[in-house]
Amino acid sequence: MPLREDAWYLARAFELADQPVGRVSPNPRVGAVLVRDGAIVGEGAHLGPGTAHAEAAAIAAAKDLARGATLYVTLEPCCHYGHTPPCTQAIIAAGVRRVVAPIEDPNPQVSGKGFAELRAAGIAVEVGSGAAQAIAQNAPYLHWRHTGRPFVTAKWALSLGGQSAARTGKSLYMTGPAAREEAHRLRAANDAVLVGIGTALEDDPQLTVRDVPGTSPLRAVLDTEGRLPLSARLLAAGGRTIVYVGRGIAEERMKALSGLAEVVPIGQGPRLPLLDVLEDLGRRDVTSLLVEGGATVHGDFFDQRLVDRVAVFVAPLVLGGSAAPPGVAGLGAESPAAGLRLTARSWRILGEDAYFTASVERGAK
């Protein structure tokens, strides 16, 4: 039976899990708190691959005070050797008497085995408290583990008339500085960012993280015919770039692009198979993907029900024009009832712009 204090200490563990700046993928975000005699004696957070896991960091901070303590951790402790030793063995050796965790780790090397090992050692294990928050906090990691594909966030900016660009195709800069900073934070939070060739040709984006803390993600371009200019800024921005092309492009064009990026032939035109693209990114340990458009790419992702979250910036601007592109094109829904419903909705004001985020309701048709 969970104690009244469990929720408070788990809340602190969730705070710790969110403290690392930038990505920790392909590992999950995990925080841990050790409590003995009503006092916190050790805390820890996982900071990224190769660093100590949260449980081990909390035990190291607590030292001998870990014996007889309760461990609050936001995900099932690992029980296998990876970059670090198993956390279950560290917990057992430290003499922890009770473990409280919200959910199992779907990693097949763990997936209930960590809890079983702790119970076999005589440690009381309670699972389930705070499950909803744990699932939300590690949504990209859990999605990647369950599907083998990255968690997809579709991001775009709109005028009040619903256009994502002027009738000429120009879209820079629709929003103000505060919104653009938030867009860079989004990039820093995702393992990869993807655009279609139309956006690459029209905007010549760098797709890097600037003016905010964090590192630039992997860049991916959908380019069926291999039209990306060798002078494109995203090819000169440093870091990794993948250009997904159709299998029929000219060999000399493949060679030219291959000197500046990794070129991956995948499917035939006129549209590249998005599911195959996502599975390829998943195999590269990309757990989260930010799709920055344009409208055609967004439409394909929505039509195929491959979007998990939306991030939309709305500018106090009227563009108009029947030829101006929308935020999302594609085939679209047959009726409002058939549209994708959004949950966990949130509005914020960023400078002069509005910022809307939401999750795509699973099972929506």
Strand partners, 193: 219, 290
Q: Given 3-state DSSP classes, what are the helix, strand and coil percentages for the chain, each rounded to the nearest 5?
A: 30, 20, 50
Catalytic entry in 43, 55, 202, 292: 55
- Phi first, then psi, for residue 42 (nearest 5°) are -165, 145
Integer-rounded Cα Rg, in Å, for the chain is 23
* Distance set, CA 116 to CA 93, 121, 127 (Å): 16, 9, 12
- Phi first, then psi, for residue 220 (nearest 5°) are -130, 140
Two tokens, residue 287: 């757990």
For residues 244 and 221, what is the distance between their CA atoms, to the nearest angstrom? 6
**Eight-class DSSP state of 286:** -
Quick check: is 361 catalytic? no
Asked if 287 and 151 touch (Cβ cutoff 8 Å), the reply is yes
Sheet of 98-101, strand order:
39-45, 31-36, 70-73, 98-101, 124-127
Helix ranges, the chain (H): 6-17, 54-62, 87-94, 113-120, 131-137, 139-147, 177-189, 197-203, 251-258, 274-283, 295-303
Distance in Å from the first CA to the final CA of the chain: 39
* Distance set, CA 3 to CA 8, 97, 100, 114, 119 (Å): 10, 15, 10, 22, 19
For residues 230 and 235, what is the distance between their CA atoms, to the nearest angstrom? 7
Distinct helix (H) and strand (E) counts, the chain: 11, 14
The full 3-state SS of 94-121, as one line of letters, equals: HCCCEEEECCCCCCCCCCCHHHHHHHHC
Catalytic residue positions, numbered: 55
